[in-house]
Amino acid sequence: MEHSSFFTTDHTCRFARPVLMGNGELVTAFGPTGYHTDQPNAAMQVFCLAGRRLGGATAPLVRFGQLKRTLIVDGRTVELGDYQQELHPDEGVLISTCTHDSLSEQTVSFVCLDSNSAAFRTTLTNTGSKALAGKLVLRYSFGDWEGQLPDQCALHFESIDAKGGRIRYEVERTHLGAVELLCDREIEVHGDGPTLTSAWQFAIEPGRSESVSFLWGVGDKLAYRGTPSSWTFESLLAKQKQQWNDFHQTSRLNLGNAGLEALRLMCLYDLRSNSTPWSIPPAVSPAMWEARTFHDELYPFLGLISSGHADLARRIPNYRLRTLDKAVERSRYRGAKYAWESLEDGRDGSPYGHWLDEHFHMGQFAETAWQLCIYEGKPERAGDFYPLFREIADYFLLNMIEPDGEFARMKPCTDYDETTCPVDNGLYTACAAIRSLELAHTQGEAMGESPSKLAAWSEAAAKLRHNLPKSELGDRYLTAEGAKHRHIAEVGPVFPFRVDSGSSIARRTIDSFCEAVRTESGLQPGDTPAYGQRRWLWTAAHVATAYSLLGDADRAYELLVEAQGATGPGLIPVESLGLEGDYSCPFFTTSAGAFVFSLNSLFLQVTDNGVTCLPKLPDNLGNASFEGLAGACGLLFSADYRDGKAIRLAITAPKNCTAEVVLASEAFDSGITRWPQVIDWDTDGGFYRLKLDLHAGDNTWSASL
C-alpha cells in the first residue's frame, strides 16, 4: 500500500488512537492489541449496531459488548509492551504487532463489510531460544466497556461445538438476537452469564509460528445472521480487500501530494465505515453523541456524492424526507422542525441545552436535498422532495422571521456559534432561511403552488437578504447583529447556503475571518476563548470550499495542505487538535466529509442550474489527474493535466443526453470547442461554456484531437 506510513502508529505516540472499523451497521474500535482494550477511548471500544437503542429521553445505543484477549506464556500473563499498528483504509484491515520477551504477536482484524461480523487472526512467533507453551484467551462480555448490563437484560449461553459458543440476548423486551464467537482451532469454550470465554492452547518451538483465527458476529430481528456452516479467515480477508478496493476505485485523485491523497483515502474509509442504513452520524459510537444525527450530515453527503458514491449519499436526504412527518409534528404543524439530535425514526434524542434553540439545520437539510437533485439531474427528484422544501420554508416563515421596519430579521436564537447565545438576527440562520425559502419558491413554481404562498416565501427571502447583519461600514458580514466576535458562520453566505455567489463583501468577510481566528497551529471556528487555540480540520475544509467557490483555488489549496496538520495520530480525521497533540472526536465524519468535498471541489463544481464547472487548478496541482468525480445530472468526470493545461477530459454519461459544462480557459485551450460532442459553445468571462451531445458511456476528448 503506497501510503501505509501515514496510517501507522506505535507505543511512542503520546496520544494513542482507537482504530474505528465498521460497515455502517456494525461499528466498533480496537485498541493496540487488535482486540478491545481498556484504553484509549474505552467508550469507542464496544460493538454497536446502528439504530439499536435503549429507552429513555436520549435513547443511547445498545452496547453489544467487548472482545478482549489475554496472552499467557509459561503460566504468566503477558502485559502489553511495545506495539505498532497499521491501518489499511484501502483494504479495511488493521494489523497490530506487539513485541514481548521471546515472542512476537501479530493480529489482523477487520469488521466485514458485507456482514455484521468481525474477524481476527493472531499469529504468535517464538523469537527466543527455548520452546514456549501457553494459551491465548478471548473473553467476550455482553454490555458496555465497564461491564454494565442494560436494565431488563436476559442472557443465555449455548455451546455450538468444540470451536465456538453463542449468547442469546433479550434487551428491554425489544432487542432479541444472538452473539457468536467461533474459532478455526479446537478450543476450550465456556459461558458464565454475560461472558463467553474461548481459550486456545499453543506450544511453539524456537523460530516457529502458530496462528489461530476467530470470527465474532451478532444478529437480531433487523438483520438476521446465520451461523456459517464453514468459514476460513483467508476467504473472509480476500473478500474484505476486494470489497474495499471496489469502493475506493469509484473515484481517485492523483495530486503529486502523498499526504493529501492519503488523508482523502482515510476520510472516505471513515465515511463508508459509518454510513448507516439511515444517514451518517458523527460516528456510530456511544462516545460520539450516541450516534444521533445532526446538521453535520451535510458534509458526509457532499463528500460521498461528489466522489461518485451516490448510492450511499442519497440515503441522507431520503432519511430526512421519510421522517418529515415527525418534524412537522415537532413544530406543532407549523412547518418542519427537525430534532437537533435525531434518532433513526425521526424522534428527538437530544439532551436538554441551548442547542435546542438552533434552527439553521433545517436549511442544511434543504440544501442536502437540493444538492442531490442537482447531482442526479432527474426532474422527478425535485418533485419528490418538494414536501420537504415546502415544510422547511414554512417553518422559517411561521416561526423564525419577524418584521424589522420595511425588512425582516431572524428572531433571537442560538446561531451556529454555541459559545455566544442567543444572538439577534444570526447570520448563519438567516442564510439558512433565505436558501430554504428560495428553494421552496423555485420548486413551488414548478409544482403549481398557490401564488399567495409563493409570494410570501419570495418576499420574506428578499427582506432577509436586504437585512443581513453587516459591519458599521457595510464592508463585511457579521456573525449576528452588533456582534464583536468572529465565527465561521460568516462563511455561510458563500458555503453552504450560496446566497452570496462572490461579492466583495463576501470575500472581505472570509479573508478577515481567517485572520481573526488563525492560531499558531491553524484555523479554529471562532475567536472566543472556548475554542482553545486548537486546530479544526472541518473548519479549514469548510473555508477552503468557500475559497474554491469564489474562484481562489490557490488559497483553497493552501488551507487543505495546512489541514493535514489538524488530524489525529495515523492521519485520522478528528474534530479538533490541541497544541500538544491531544485530540477530540476521533474518526469524526463531519471533518472527513468536509475535507473530501473540499478537495474534490478544486477539480469539479456544480451550479444550481445543473451545470458542471471545471475551474482553473491551483498552481501546485498543474500535473494532477482525477477519475470518477461526480458532476451534475448523473455525469462522471475524469481529466489529466500537464503544466496546468488539460490534456484529456472524459465524461461518462448514464444515457444519451445533452449537458452543459463550463471550463476554465486557463486550463483548456480553444481546441476543446472542436470536440465532436460540442454542439454549441460561447465564452463567458474566463470560461468556455459548452453544450454537449453525449452518448451513453464514455465520451473522451484529448488535446491531440
Residue ranges of the chain with per-residue pLDDT less than 50: 1
Instruction: Compute the distance between CA of residue 255 and CA of residue 264 in angstroms, rounded to an integer.
Output: 11
Amino acid letter, residue 553: A
Given a contact cutoff of 8 angstroms between Cβ atoms, the answer to whether 612 and 632 are in contact is: yes
- Triad 221, 226, 228: Cα angle to 5°: 160
**Chain CA centroid to CA 603, Å:** 20
Task: Give the residue among 326, 344, 345, 346 at the shortest CA–CA distance from 336.
Answer: 326
Question: Distance (Å, rounded) from C-alpha 17 to C-alpha 331?
Answer: 41
Strand partners, 466: none
Q: Which residues, other chains included, contact 403 with Cβ-Cβ below 8 Å and sequence gap of 6+?
A: 409
In angstroms, rounded to a whole number, what is the distance separating the alpha carbons of residues 24 and 114? 10
Q: Give start and end residues of each alpha helix (H) in 468-573.
A: 504-517, 537-549, 553-563
DSSP state letter for 502:
S
Element containing residue 316 per DSSP (H, E): helix 315-322
Residue closest to 438 by CA, chosen among 495, 370, 378, 488: 370
If we measure between CA atoms, which residue out of 230, 206, 228, 208 comes closest to residue 217? 228
Secondary structure element (H or E) that encloses residue 699, with its range: strand 697-702
* H helix or E strand, kind and range, residue 321: helix 315-322
Q: Is 55 helix (H, G, I), strand (E, B) or coil?
A: coil
Instruction: Name the residue among 263, 281, 38 with its Cα closest to residue 145.
Output: 38
C-alpha cell at 447: 409544482
Taking a C-beta distance cutoff of 8 angstroms, is the pair 16, 39 a contact? Answer: yes
pLDDT tens-digit series, residues 289-313: 999 999 999 999 999 999 999 999 9
Instruction: Count H helices and E strands in the chain, helices first.
Output: 14, 33
- 132-141 and 66-73 as β-strands: parallel, antiparallel, unpaired? antiparallel
Q: What is the DSSP letter of 37?
A: -
Q: DSSP for 425-489, please give it.
A: S-HHHHHHHHHHHHHHHHHHHHHT--HHHHHHHHHHHHHHHTT--B-TTSSSB-SSTT--S-BGG
Domains observed in the chain: 7-248 (2.70.98.40), 251-602 (1.50.10.10), 611-702 (2.60.40.1180)
Q: State the Cα–Cα distance between residues 629 and 687, nearest whole angstrom.
A: 20
What does the pLDDT read at residue 229?
Answer: 87
In angstroms and rounded to an integer, the radius of gyration of the C-alpha atoms of the chain is: 27
- The helix or strand, by DSSP H or E, that contains position 329, with its residue range, turns out to be helix 324-330
In the prediction, which pLDDT does 380 show? 86
The span from the CA of 317 to the CA of 321, in Å, is 6
Answer for the pair 537, 594: CB distance below 8 angstroms, yes or no.
Answer: yes
Distance of CA 19 to the CA centre of its chain: 15
Q: Where are the alpha helices (DSSP H) in 570-629?
A: 589-601
Helices (H), 139-253: 233-248
Please give the Cα distance from 590 to 270 (Å, whole number). Answer: 10
686 DSSP 8-state letter:
T
Query: Which residues in 542-574 are b (16+ Cβ under 10 Å) and which e?
Result: bbbbbbbbbebbebbbbbbbbbbebbbbbbbbb
Distance of alpha carbon 626 from alpha carbon 545, whole angstroms:
18
Residue 40, sorted as left (phi over 0), alpha (psi -120 to 50) or beta, turns out to be: beta
Cis previous bond, 89, omega within 30: no
Q: Pick the closest to residue 644 from 660, 674, 671, 664 (CA basis).
A: 664
Strands 645-653 and 697-702: antiparallel
The one-letter amino acid at 190: H
Question: Which helix (H) or strand (E) is 325 found in, with range?
Answer: helix 324-330
